[in-house]
Amino acid sequence: MVQKAPGTPRFRHPTSIKVTRTTIMENDPRFAEFVILQAQNAGMFLGQVANPINGQPEVNINAARSVLDSLEMLEHKTAGNRSPEEEKLLQTALLNLRSLYAEVEAREGSGES
């Protein structure tokens, strides 16, 4: 089990929102799977999830920014074409990741670990 440093924000997984598997399956499940995968990747790059290669949490702020940019592009390009459940999933993931990114960026910029 990976221990987080004191003051490390807790990653709120986008699947914790109230969307049932049945509801998602009525839509194209690939959208939800893609958003969840990208959110997990961003969480890993922000040090919230252990790197699967070495088992240690690592921060790669540039990679996290790239993933966040990709999700923001997806938000823009799919506007008006998402179901309410897909909208909630994407907006929750973006809200959580933007907040976490800002916290980690501020901490990394100040030299804290």
Range of the domain at 81: 19-108
Q: What is the CATH classification number for the domain harbouring 46?
A: 1.20.58
Instruction: Write the pLDDT tens digit of every residue in 83-110.
Output: 999 999 999 999 999 999 999 999 988 7
- pTM of the predicted structure, to 2 decimals: 0.72
Domain total in the chain: 1
Q: What are phi and psi of 46, to 5 degrees?
A: -95, 10
Instruction: Write the pLDDT tens digit of every residue in 13-38.
Output: 554 545 555 554 467 899 999 999 99
Whether 12 is covered by a domain: the verdict is: no
At 1, the pLDDT band (50, 70, 90 cuts) reads very low
At 3, the pLDDT band (50, 70, 90 cuts) reads very low
State the virtual CA torsion across 2, 112, 94, 45 in degrees, nearest 10: -50
17: left (phi over 0), alpha (psi -120 to 50) or beta: beta
Whether 50 is covered by a domain: the verdict is: yes
